[in-house]
Amino acid sequence: MERPCDPAAQVHDSPASQARPLRPSELASCIDHTLLRRDASPAELLRACDEALRFGFRGVCVYPEHLGQVVSRLDARALAITVAGFPGGLEALEDKADQVRAAVASGAAEVDAVLNRDLLRQRDHARVLHEIATLVRAACPARLKIILETGDLTRDERIMAATLAKAAGAACVKTSTGLGHPGATAEDVALLRDVVGLDMGVKASGGIRDLQQCLAMLQAGASIVGTSASVTIMEQAMALGDPESLPGEVS
């Protein structure tokens, strides 16, 4: 299948892939600082952006209606990230593709789009592949991550969804929306990493609230962690007293 751009750039190339202790600055560079609240105020959005710049987070993930403020504040110093088909993923394909195109036109560097799980459950794998490939094309030159909602899928469905996402050219598979279903588990992250290999991103998201959970996801194979508890995680990391490294190794 033709891939219209390099979708995996800056997604799978992470310090978390190196088998050595992880520095706090490297930890921050793996985190998508997340503020997915419709009622987020302008002040909260500005604070999230300033936190991302202060700690060195990979990017800031917000709803499309908040993207303009985030793009302006970050000024390309961190990634502006938004969502499409969120959280259910059941929109008509063209509507979802329009959301992706609008996000990119507004300055999104990455779009996290929700998979249509109904098609997956119906085993209509050709349509799933077509949907993801269409969204990848709609996102170019930005990168597309596919949210699988692993907590709502069987193991076989997780494997198939990740396989199709890779075949369609997505930059990354993401575990969860964090809404309405169980969030990321280290076991799911390890499974997705086994399926997609080392040349595609795996984003753990949903229910990651502290440093221990964050490191567990990276150790399981995540290249990105999405969380609204980013500042808490970094404060815990820095409170360990060793600014050079965090306990344990990631691989």
Rg (CA), the chain: 17
Is the pLDDT at 51 greater than 90? The verdict is yes
Mean pLDDT of 203-230: 98
Instruction: Confirm if 32 and 59 have CB atoms less than 8 A apart.
Output: yes
pLDDT grade for 4, boundaries at 50, 70 and 90 = very low
Kindly name the residue from 32, 112, 166, 188 that is annotated as catalytic. Answer: 112
Model confidence pLDDT, tens digit, residues 93-114: 999 999 999 999 999 999 999 9
Q: How do 143-147 and 201-205 pair as beta strands? A: unpaired
Known catalytic residue at 96? no
Cβ neighbours around 88 below 10 Å, total: 14
The CATH-assigned architecture of domain 22-238 is Alpha-Beta Barrel (3.20)
Instruction: Please identify which residue in the block is written with the tokens 């059941």.
Output: 90
Kindly name the residue from 32, 96, 174, 188 that is annotated as catalytic. Answer: 174
Mean pLDDT of 70-95: 97
Model confidence pLDDT, tens digit, residues 164-204: 999 999 999 999 999 989 999 999 999 999 999 999 999 99
Instruction: Confirm if 161 and 131 have CB atoms less than 8 A apart.
Output: no
**Rounded Cα gap, residues 206 and 212, in angstroms:** 14
Q: Report which of residues 251 and 196 the model is more confident about.
A: 196
pLDDT grade for 245, boundaries at 50, 70 and 90 = low
250 secondary structure, DSSP code = B
Q: How do 224-227 and 31-35 pair as beta strands? A: parallel
Mean pLDDT of 194-223: 98
- DSSP letter string, 113-148: EE--HHHHHTT-HHHHHHHHHHHHHHHTTSEEEEE-
Encoded tokens for 176: 């969860």
Domain residue ranges of the chain, discontinuous segments joined by +: 22-238
Across the chain, mean pLDDT equals 92
Is the pLDDT at 53 greater than 70? The verdict is yes
Q: Report the pLDDT value the prediction gives residue 3, as an integer from 0 to 100.
A: 37
Helix (H) or strand (E) holding 181: none
Known catalytic residue at 75? no
pTM of the predicted model, to two decimals? Answer: 0.91
Q: Report the pLDDT value the prediction gives residue 64, as an integer from 0 to 100.
A: 98
Is the pLDDT at 61 greater than 90? The verdict is yes
**Rounded Cα gap, residues 87 and 206, in angstroms:** 12
Kindly name the residue from 96, 145, 166, 203 that is annotated as catalytic. Answer: 203
Helix (H) or strand (E) holding 229: none
Encoded tokens for 14: 């992470």
Is the pLDDT at 1 greater than 70? The verdict is no
Q: Report the pLDDT value the prediction gives residue 240, as an integer from 0 to 100.
A: 86
Is the pLDDT at 250 greater than 50? The verdict is no
Cis peptide before 24 (omega within 30 of 0): no
Q: Report the pLDDT value the prediction gives residue 21, as an integer from 0 to 100.
A: 72
**Rounded Cα gap, residues 83 and 81, in angstroms:** 7
pLDDT grade for 247, boundaries at 50, 70 and 90 = low
